[in-house]
Homo-oligomer: A and B are copies of this chain.
Amino acid sequence: MSTGEIVQPAPRRRRSDGERSRKSILEAAAALATIDGLEGLSIGRLAERTGMSKSGLYAHFGSKQELQLATVETANEIFQAEVVEPALAAPAGRERLIALCDHYFSHLEREVFPGGCFFASAAADFDTRAGPVRDAIAAAYTDLDELLQELGADARDRGELAADTDLAQLSFELGGFLLAANSAYVLFRDTGALDQGRRAVRARLAV
């Protein structure tokens, strides 16, 4: 250690860190939003959490609404990667439908988001509002509903479910089991709710 050496200042970010920075901000935002709510998420607290100044965040996102929209998009990507894509690895049909629900329960258990299901939390926050953020959340809800119905149709076409299965009704009921498990798990942190969810899904899909 020569006397010429001085204490290094905080490492200067390279330009190429811009996108990585944006991504890590949005992941922190998605996590925080499940605790404070997507509306309760404040730019000041997010700045603190990410070690950035408030105006630094505004340089990235322009407004709170833009930040919220980007956060919903990021949460969607996380949900796809943690729940949907792993489920698509299961054999098509009834097995894949069960896998989707199981990966949903698993993502709760693994605390992918600290406050449970991002979309259940965000929907509760924005359900009575109007505007692009509500619309993005509603679209995610519809997407999951459609996915459940598609997987249900595959199972039905394979003869694994009754030929007269009402797919919208099936999706509604499975969605209810996901919501019930999320609510109970986040409120009580009791994995028993996840087991009840798994049992409910299997009973509903029994031949």
Contact = CB atoms under 8 A, between A and B. Distances in A.
Interface stretch (A16-24, A53-61, A118-126, A149-157): A118-126
Given A40-B40, A141-B187, A176-B177, A199 B169 contact: yes
A127 interface: yes
B180 A172 contact: yes
Interface string A132-147: 0010011001000000
Nearest to A173: B200
Nearest to A180: B176
- Of the four ranges (under 10, 10 to 19, 20 to 34, 35 or more), the interface on chain A belongs to 35 or more
Contacts of A141: 183-184, 187
Copies in the complex: 2
A127 to B, nearest CB: 4
A128 B199 CA distance: 25
Q: Is the interface of A mostly helix, strand, loop or mixed?
A: helix
Interface string A164-206: 0000110011011111110110111000010011011000000
Given A40-B37, A115-B128, A193-B172, A138 B187 contact: yes
Interface of A: 34-35, 37, 39-40, 114-116, 120-121, 123-125, 127-128, 134, 137-138, 141, 168-169, 172-173, 175-181, 183-184, 186-188, 193, 196-197, 199-200
6 contacts: A114-B128, A115-B127, A116-B128, A138-B188, A141-B183, A168-B196
Given A37-B124, A172-B177, 17 more contacts: A34-B128, A115-B127, A116-B127, A116-B128, A123-B183, A125-B125, A127-B183, A127-B187, A172-B180, A172-B184, A172-B193, A172-B197, A173-B176, A173-B177, A173-B180, A176-B178, A179-B180
